[in-house]
Amino acid sequence: MATTTTLPELKAKDFKGKSDPDWCPGCGDFGLLNSVQKALAELGKKPHEVVCVSGIGCSSNLPGYLSTYGMHTLHGRALAVATGVKFANHELTVIAAGGDGDGYGIGGNHFAHTARRNVDITYLVMNNQIYGLTTGQVSPASEIGMKTKSTPFGNLERPVNAVTTAIMNGATFVARGFSGHGKHLLSTIKQAIEHNGFSLVDVFSPCVTFNHDNTYDFFRQRIKKLEEEGHDPSDWKSACEKAMAWDDEIFTGVYYQDKDVPTLNDQEPVLEAGPIAHQSPGLTTEQSERILKRMM
């Protein structure tokens, strides 16, 4: 008689990587890592079904702390590599991770075009508003007047607004989270992963070592949750207006979501035959070996 084996339900600890995080004690990135592990477990994902791709920076060590497939790539290039992964096997859940310097600075071009293409990727940006790995220089997200090692007399440049940038470039799911609000961040990340399309979650992740302006207390005194304000995520104008708020109140939650825009993956005819990784390359063994030899 045939028997059916039921696999045990995975828990957050099953997504814990072999390496322990080396972040500073109190770093906001711990909160995001915990939320990602819980989100994958609660969504019923399996480690072999997930790929986490990162760039360079403190936050970009994330793939090493997850028990999934992972790639630690080049500075600002996480989304480009993640796009390649998604097209090679679009059945995988692809998560890109990085920081505000990695994603909004050198990676800003990829950020804009991945959003425009609506590639089905979840992009988690640990936004500490400073370059932490290189010990405290001004980043694209630093506030005007902020004093850092590279701006001892105060930052003169206006910070990038990741939420409005994502919306205007075509992202179909745009949200913010705060690593100090674990349950709310978990809910937001789960929604982002479930969304079919490009999802940005800009996460306030305080750097306790080099940014003493945007601290946990700074955010706790100002943050309001969009769902408690009656915000409609389908209203892009309201989403942009809410994203501009900063001084006395800062909003977290889902700013904008559009479920009707087809993803680039859905529109690509070559994927109709299944994941490229499972398709025949249409080459002879000799041709394949010749190509590989040239590339080595």
Nearest to 52 by CA among 42, 74, 67: 67
pLDDT reading at 7 higher than 80 = no
Going by DSSP bridges, is the β-strand pair 173-178/250-257 parallel, antiparallel, or unpaired?
A: antiparallel
Listed in order, strand segments (DSSP E) in the chain are 50-54, 69-72, 93-99, 122-127, 173-178, 199-204, 223-225, 250-257
Confidence of residue 155 (pLDDT cuts 50, 70, 90): very high
Please give the Cα distance from 240 to 262 (Å, whole number). Answer: 22
Confidence of residue 292 (pLDDT cuts 50, 70, 90): confident
Confidence of residue 288 (pLDDT cuts 50, 70, 90): confident
pTM of the predicted model, to two decimals?
Answer: 0.93
pLDDT reading at 9 higher than 90 = no
Convert the pLDDT of each residue in 193-248 to its tens digit.
999 999 999 999 999 999 999 999 999 999 999 999 999 999 999 999 999 999 89
Q: What percent of the chain has pLDDT over 90?
A: 89
Average pLDDT, the chain: 95
Convert the pLDDT of each residue in 10-46 to its tens digit.
999 999 999 999 999 999 999 999 999 999 999 999 9
Please give the Cα distance from 262 to 76 (Å, whole number). Answer: 26
pLDDT reading at 156 higher than 60 = yes
Convert the pLDDT of each residue in 247-267 to its tens digit.
899 999 999 999 999 999 999
Q: Helix 78-88 and helix 108-117: axis angle, to 10°?
A: 30
- The whole-number pLDDT of residue 276 equals 87
- The whole-number pLDDT of residue 6 equals 61
Which CATH number describes the domain made up of 13-268?
3.40.50.970
